[in-house]
Chain A
Amino acid sequence: MAIDGQLEVRDIYTAYDKADVLEGISLNVVPGKITCLLGSNGAGKSTIIRSILGLTPPRAGSISFGDKDLTGLATHKIIATGIACIPEGRKLFPKLSVEENLHLGAYQETSKDVVRQRIEQVFEIFPRLHDRRLQLAGTMSGGEQAMVSIGRGLMGAPKLLLIDEPSLGLSPLFVKETFKIINKINEQGITVFLVEQNVHQTLAIAHYGYVLSKGQVVAEGESAVLAENSEVREAYFG
Chain B
Amino acid sequence: MDIGFLGQYVVNGLMLGMMYSLVAVGFTLFFGVLDIIKFSHGDVLMVGAFAGLTTFFGLEAIGIESAWIQLVTIVVVSCVLTGILGSMIGKYLVLPLKSAPALNTLLITLMAGTVLRECIRLFFPDGSNPKPFPSLLPSESYSWGNFTLRLDSLMLLIFGTLVIVAISLLINKTKLGLAIRAVAQDGETAKIMGINFTLVVIVTFAIGSGVAAIAGIMNGLYYNEINFDMGLLLGVIGFSAAIVGGLGNIYGAILGGFLFAGLQTFGAVALPFASAYKDVFAFAVIIMIMAWRPTGLIAERTSERV
B98 contacts partner chain A, Cβ-Cβ < 8 Å: no
Is there contact, CB below 8 Å, between B304 and A53?
no
Is there contact, CB below 8 Å, between B185 and A104?
no
Is there contact, CB below 8 Å, between B193 and A95?
no
Q: Which of B178, B179, B182, B188 contacts A55 (CB 8 A)?
A: B188
Q: Which of B145-198 contact A (CB under 8 A)?
A: 175, 178-179, 181-182, 185-186, 188-198
Would you list 10 pairs from A and B whose C-beta atoms are within 8 A, ordered by A residue? A53-B192, A75-B192, A79-B192, A93-B182, A93-B186, A96-B185, A100-B181, A104-B179, A104-B182, A104-B193
Is there contact, CB below 8 Å, between B179 and A93?
no
From known contacts A93-B181, A95-B304, A104-B182, infer whether A87 and B192 are also in contact, taking CB-CB under 8 Å: yes
- The minimal Cβ–Cβ distance linking B251 to chain A, given in whole angstroms, is 13
Q: Once bound together, how far apart are the Cα atoms of A101 and B181, in whole Å?
A: 11
Number of A-B contacts (CB under 8 A): 62
Which residues of A are found within 8 Å of B117, using beta-carbon distances?
none
B305 contacts partner chain A, Cβ-Cβ < 8 Å: yes
- The minimal Cβ–Cβ distance linking B192 to chain A, given in whole angstroms, is 5
- The minimal Cβ–Cβ distance linking A100 to chain B, given in whole angstroms, is 6
Which residues of B are found within 8 Å of A94, using beta-carbon distances?
185
From known contacts A95-B305, A100-B178, A103-B178, infer whether A108 and B194 are also in contact, taking CB-CB under 8 Å: yes
Interface residue total, chain A, C-beta cutoff 8 A: 22
A80 contacts partner chain B, Cβ-Cβ < 8 Å: yes
Q: Once bound together, how far apart are the Cα atoms of A76 and B192, in whole Å?
A: 7
Binary per-residue interface labels of chain A (92-111) against chain B in the complex, 1 for a CB within 8 Å, 0 otherwise: 01111000100111011000
Q: Once bound together, how far apart are the Cα atoms of A156 and B193, in whole Å?
A: 8
Which residues of A are found within 8 Å of B182, using beta-carbon distances?
93, 96, 104
Is there contact, CB below 8 Å, between B181 and A107?
no
Is there contact, CB below 8 Å, between A107 and B185?
no
Q: Which of A91, A95, A96 contacts B192 (CB 8 A)?
A: A91
Is there contact, CB below 8 Å, between B195 and A95?
no
Q: Which of A80, A93, A103, A156 contacts B189 (CB 8 A)?
A: A93
Q: Determine the residue in chain A with the shortest Cβ distance to B304.
A: A95
Which residues of A are found within 8 Å of B195, using beta-carbon distances?
76, 104, 107
Which residues of A are found within 8 Å of B304, using beta-carbon distances?
95-96
Q: Which of A93, A95, A156 contacts B194 (CB 8 A)?
A: A156
A217 contacts partner chain B, Cβ-Cβ < 8 Å: no
- The minimal Cβ–Cβ distance linking B98 to chain A, given in whole angstroms, is 14
From known contacts A79-B192, A87-B192, infer whether A93 and B197 are also in contact, taking CB-CB under 8 Å: no
Interface residue total, chain B, C-beta cutoff 8 A: 20
Is there contact, CB below 8 Å, between A79 and B305?
no
A79, A95, A152 — which one has the most chain B CB atoms within 10 A of its CB?
A95
Q: Once bound together, how far apart are the Cα atoms of A95 and B304, in whole Å?
A: 6
Q: Determine the residue in chain B with the shortest Cβ distance to A78.
A: B194
Q: Once bound together, how far apart are the Cα atoms of A156 and B181, in whole Å?
A: 19
Q: Determine the residue in chain A with the shortest Cβ distance to B306.
A: A95
Which residues of B are found within 8 Å of A80, using beta-carbon distances?
194
Q: Which of A40-97 contact B (CB under 8 A)?
A: 53, 55, 74-76, 79-80, 85, 87, 91, 93-96
Q: Determine the residue in chain B with the shortest Cβ distance to A115.
A: B175
Interchain residue pairs A-B with the least CB separation, the first 4: A79-B194, A75-B191, A108-B194, A91-B189
Identify 12 new A-B residue pairs, CB closer than 8 A, beyond the known A95-B305, A96-B304. A53-B191, A55-B188, A74-B191, A75-B191, A75-B194, A76-B191, A87-B189, A93-B181, A96-B185, A107-B193, A152-B193, A156-B194
Q: Determine the residue in chain A with the shortest Cβ distance to B301.
A: A95
Is there contact, CB below 8 Å, between B193 and A79?
yes
Q: Once bound together, how far apart are the Cα atoms of A148 and B182, in whole Å?
A: 15
- The minimal Cβ–Cβ distance linking B299 to chain A, given in whole angstroms, is 13
Q: Once bound together, how far apart are the Cα atoms of A71 and B195, in whole Å?
A: 18
Q: Once bound together, how far apart are the Cα atoms of A117 and B178, in whole Å?
A: 19
Q: Which of B175, B181, B194 contacts A96 (CB 8 A)?
A: B181
Is there contact, CB below 8 Å, between A74 and B189?
no
Is there contact, CB below 8 Å, between B193 and A105?
yes
Q: Determine the residue in chain B with the shortest Cβ distance to A86.
A: B192
Q: Which of A100-131 contact B (CB under 8 A)?
A: 100, 103-105, 107-108
Q: Once bound together, how far apart are the Cα atoms of A52 and B305, in whole Å?
A: 30
Q: Once bound together, how far apart are the Cα atoms of A133 and B198, in whole Å?
A: 29
Is there contact, CB below 8 Å, between A93 and B196?
no
- The minimal Cβ–Cβ distance linking A84 to chain B, given in whole angstroms, is 8
Is there contact, CB below 8 Å, between B192 and A93?
no
- The minimal Cβ–Cβ distance linking A157 to chain B, given in whole angstroms, is 12
Which residues of B are found within 8 Å of A76, using beta-carbon distances?
191, 194-197
Q: Once bound together, how far apart are the Cα atoms of A65 and B219, in whole Å?
A: 54
Which residues of B are found within 8 Å of A75, using beta-carbon distances?
191-192, 194, 197
- The minimal Cβ–Cβ distance linking A113 to chain B, given in whole angstroms, is 15
- The minimal Cβ–Cβ distance linking A133 to chain B, given in whole angstroms, is 15
- The minimal Cβ–Cβ distance linking A137 to chain B, given in whole angstroms, is 10
Q: Which of B179, B188, B305 contacts A107 (CB 8 A)?
A: B179
Is there contact, CB below 8 Å, between A55 and B191?
yes
